[in-house]
Structure 1
Amino acid sequence: MTYCIDFPEPETAVEWSLTDAGVEREERPYRPRFYVRATADGSLAEVADAVRPHPEVAAVEREHHRPGWRHDATEMLAVEMTTPDAVSRLASTITKVGRPGTYRCFNVDLSRQFRYCVETGTEPTPTRDPTVLELAAPPIAGSGLESVTATTPSGETHAFADAPADIARDVESLIRRTEPDVLRVSTAELLPELFDAVEEDLRLGREPGYTQLAAASTYESYGTVGHSPARYAVPGRPIVDASNSFFLRETDLDGVRYLVERSHKPLQEAAWASIGNVLTAIQIREALSRDVLVPWRSWRAERFKPASTLETADRGGFTLSPDVGVHENVHELDFSSLYPNIMCTRNISPETVCCDCHPEREDVPELGYGICPDDGYLPDVLQPLIDDRDEFKRRLGRGDDGREGAAAAIKWILVSCFGYQGFSNAKFGRIECHEAINAFAREILLDAKATLEHHGWRVVHGIVDSLWVTPMPDREGTDLETVAREITDDAGIRLEYEAAYDWLAFCPRRDDGAGALTRYFGKRAGDPVDDESSYKRRGIEARQRSTPPFVEDAQLELIREFGRTRSPEAVCESLREFVRDLRSGDVDPARLAITNRVSKRVEEYTQTTKNVAALERAADLGLEKHPGQTVEYVVVDDEKSGRARVALLHENPDRYDIAFYRDRLCRAAESVLAPAGFRREEIEEQLSERVNGSLSAF
Structure 2
Amino acid sequence: MSPYTFEFEDGTVRQWRLTESGAESATVTEYTPSLFVAGPDDALADLSERLASDPKVAATARERWATSLHEAHAGERSRVLRADLERVGEVRTLAREIRGVHGRETQAPGTFRLFDVDLAPGFRYCLDRGLDPTPDRDLRTLRLALDDAALADGDLSALELSGEPVDGDEQRTLRTLDHRLERRDPDVLVVSHADLVPLLERRAEALGLESFHLGRKPGWTRLASENTYASYGRVGHSPSRYRVPGRAIIDASNSFLWHQSGLAGIRYMVERTGRPLQEAAWGSIGTLLTSRQIRLARRERGVLAPWNKWEPERFSDVETLHAADRGGFTFAPEVGFHEDVHEIDFASLYPRIICERDVSPETVGCDCRVGDSDLSAADGDGHRVPELEYDVCGVDAFLPAVLEPLISERAGIKQRLEGDLPEEEAARLRAESGAIKWVLVSCFGYQGYRNAKFGRIECHEAINAYAREIALTAKRRLEDAGWRIVHGIVDSLWVTPRVDDPDPLSDVIGEVSDTVGIPLEHDGSYEWVCFVPLRDSVGSADGGDTPGSAVPSAGALTKYFGKRTGGEYKFRGIELRQRSTPAFIADSQRAFVEALDRERDPEAVCDALGRRLTELREGAVEPADLEITNRVSKRLADYGQRTHTTAALRRYERRGIDRHPGQSVDYVVTDDDARGPERVRLGLEEPRTYDADYYATLLVRACESVVSPLGWDERRIRRSLRDGRTVRLSTFVE
TM-score range, shorter chain: over 0.9
| Residue 426, structure 1, aligned to residue 449, structure 2 | no
Q: 1:271-286 alignment to 2 at 5 Å?
A: 271-286=281-296
Cα distance, 1:42 vs. partner?
A: 5.0
| Residue 466, structure 1, aligned to residue 497, structure 2 | no
Structure 1: distance between partners of 2:604 and 2:236:
42
Q: 1:518 aligns with which of 558, 563, 567?
A: 558
Q: Compared with structure 1, are the counterparts of its residues 311 and 161 closer, same or farther at alpha carbon in structure 2 (3 Å cutoff)?
A: farther
Q: 2:245 aligns with which of 235, 260, 285?
A: 235
What letter corresponds to residue 313 of structure 1 in structure 2? Answer: A
| Residue 481, structure 1, aligned to residue 506, structure 2 | yes
Match of 1:301 in 2: 312
Structure 2: distance between partners of 1:692 and 1:521:
28
Q: Compared with structure 1, are the counterparts of its residues 516 and 38 closer, same or farther at alpha carbon in structure 2 (3 Å cutoff)?
A: closer
Aligned to 2:230, what secondary structure does the other structure show? strand
Cα distance, 1:332 vs. partner?
A: 0.3
Match of 1:61 in 2: 61
Q: 1:523-672 alignment to 2 at 5 Å?
A: 523-527=563-567, 534-672=568-706
Structure 1: distance between partners of 2:495 and 2:255:
38
Q: 2:479 aligns with which of 453, 459, 462?
A: 453
What letter corresponds to residue 286 of structure 2 in structure 1? Answer: G
For the Cα contact (< 8 Å) 1:353–1:432, is it kept in 2?
Answer: yes
Match of 2:201 in 1: 195
Q: How many residues align?
A: 682
Superposed CA offset, 1:111-146 (max 9, x none): 011111111011111122201100000104653234
Match of 2:190 in 1: 184
Cα distance, 1:684 vs. partner?
A: 1.0
| Residue 143, structure 1, aligned to residue 153, structure 2 | yes
Cα distance, 1:223 vs. partner?
A: 1.1
TM-score, normalised to structure 1's length? 0.95
Q: 1:299-378 alignment to 2 at 5 Å?
A: 299-359=310-370, 360=373, 361=375, 363-378=384-399
Structure 1: distance between partners of 2:725 and 2:48:
91
Aligned to 1:467, what secondary structure does the other structure show? strand
What's the RMSD between the two structures over aligned residues? 1.8
Q: Compared with structure 1, are the counterparts of its residues 385 and 692 closer, same or farther at alpha carbon in structure 2 (3 Å cutoff)?
A: closer
Q: 1:203-214 alignment to 2 at 5 Å?
A: 203-214=213-224
For the Cα contact (< 8 Å) 2:592–2:605, is it kept in 1?
Answer: yes
Structure 1: distance between partners of 2:564 and 2:200:
50
For the Cα contact (< 8 Å) 1:455–1:477, is it kept in 2?
Answer: yes
What letter corresponds to residue 381 of structure 1 in structure 2? Answer: V
Moved more, 630-639 or 51-60: 51-60
For the Cα contact (< 8 Å) 1:502–1:524, is it kept in 2?
Answer: yes
Structure 2: distance between partners of 1:692 and 1:501:
32
Q: 1:385 aligns with which of 384, 393, 406?
A: 406
What letter corresponds to residue 371 of structure 1 in structure 2? Answer: V
What letter corresponds to residue 422 of structure 1 in structure 2? Answer: G
Aligned to 1:50, what secondary structure does the other structure show? helix
Aligned to 2:281, what secondary structure does the other structure show? helix
Structure 1: distance between partners of 2:63 and 2:125:
20
Cα distance, 1:30 vs. partner?
A: 4.3
Q: Compared with structure 1, are the counterparts of its residues 4 and 274 closer, same or farther at alpha carbon in structure 2 (3 Å cutoff)?
A: same
Match of 1:159 in 2: 166
Cα distance, 1:628 vs. partner?
A: 0.4
Structure 2: distance between partners of 1:580 and 1:33:
68
Structure 1: distance between partners of 2:418 and 2:675:
54
| Residue 405, structure 1, aligned to residue 426, structure 2 | no
Q: Compared with structure 1, are the counterparts of its residues 78 and 169 closer, same or farther at alpha carbon in structure 2 (3 Å cutoff)?
A: farther
Q: 1:40-119 alignment to 2 at 5 Å?
A: 40=40, 42-71=42-71, 72-96=76-100, 97=103, 98-119=107-128
Q: Compared with structure 1, are the counterparts of its residues 167 and 81 closer, same or farther at alpha carbon in structure 2 (3 Å cutoff)?
A: farther
TM-score, normalised to structure 2's length? 0.90
Moved more, 275-284 or 293-302: 293-302
| Residue 12, structure 1, aligned to residue 16, structure 2 | no
Cα distance, 1:91 vs. partner?
A: 1.2
Aligned to 2:321, what secondary structure does the other structure show? helix
What letter corresponds to residue 434 of structure 2 in structure 1? Answer: A
For the Cα contact (< 8 Å) 1:31–1:80, is it kept in 2?
Answer: no
Structure 2: distance between partners of 1:174 and 1:354:
60
Cα distance, 1:212 vs. partner?
A: 0.9
Cα distance, 1:355 vs. partner?
A: 0.8
Structure 2: distance between partners of 1:32 and 1:145:
43
Structure 2: distance between partners of 1:637 and 1:645:
5
What letter corresponds to residue 280 of structure 1 in structure 2? Answer: T
What letter corresponds to residue 609 of structure 2 in structure 1? Answer: L
Aligned to 1:294, what secondary structure does the other structure show? coil
Q: Compared with structure 1, are the counterparts of its residues 655 and 158 closer, same or farther at alpha carbon in structure 2 (3 Å cutoff)?
A: closer
Q: 1:124 aligns with which of 126, 129, 133?
A: 133
Aligned to 2:418, what secondary structure does the other structure show? helix
Match of 1:220 in 2: 230
Aligned to 1:371, what secondary structure does the other structure show? strand
What letter corresponds to residue 74 of structure 1 in structure 2? Answer: S
For the Cα contact (< 8 Å) 1:32–1:87, is it kept in 2?
Answer: no
| Residue 502, structure 1, aligned to residue 502, structure 2 | no
Aligned to 2:527, what secondary structure does the other structure show? strand
Structure 1: distance between partners of 2:9 and 2:152:
34
Aligned to 1:256, what secondary structure does the other structure show? helix
Match of 1:530 in 2: none
Q: 1:172 aligns with which of 162, 166, 178?
A: 178
Match of 1:133 in 2: 142
Cα distance, 1:99 vs. partner?
A: 2.5
What letter corresponds to residue 343 of structure 1 in structure 2? Answer: I
Unaligned segments of structure 1, at least 5 residues: 528-533, 694-698
Match of 2:541 in 1: none
What letter corresponds to residue 132 of structure 2 in structure 1? Answer: E
What letter corresponds to residue 430 of structure 2 in structure 1? Answer: E
Superposed CA offset, 1:556-600 (max 9, x none): 111112112212122222122211111111111111000000101
Cα distance, 1:150 vs. partner?
A: 3.6
Structure 1: distance between partners of 2:252 and 2:620:
33
Aligned to 1:126, what secondary structure does the other structure show? coil
Structure 2: distance between partners of 1:502 and 1:370:
45
Q: 1:444 aligns with which of 470, 476, 485?
A: 470
Cα distance, 1:526 vs. partner?
A: 2.1
Match of 1:696 in 2: none
Aligned to 2:450, what secondary structure does the other structure show? coil
Match of 2:542 in 1: none
Moved more, 455-464 or 44-53: 44-53
For the Cα contact (< 8 Å) 1:135–1:148, is it kept in 2?
Answer: no
Q: 1:31-42 alignment to 2 at 5 Å?
A: 31-40=31-40, 42=42
Cα distance, 1:26 vs. partner?
A: 2.1
Aligned to 2:9, what secondary structure does the other structure show? coil
Aligned to 1:70, what secondary structure does the other structure show? helix
Structure 2: distance between partners of 1:318 and 1:430:
20
Aligned to 1:133, what secondary structure does the other structure show? strand
What letter corresponds to residue 363 of structure 1 in structure 2? Answer: R
Q: Give me the identity figure in percent.
A: 48
Structure 2: distance between partners of 1:181 and 1:454:
59
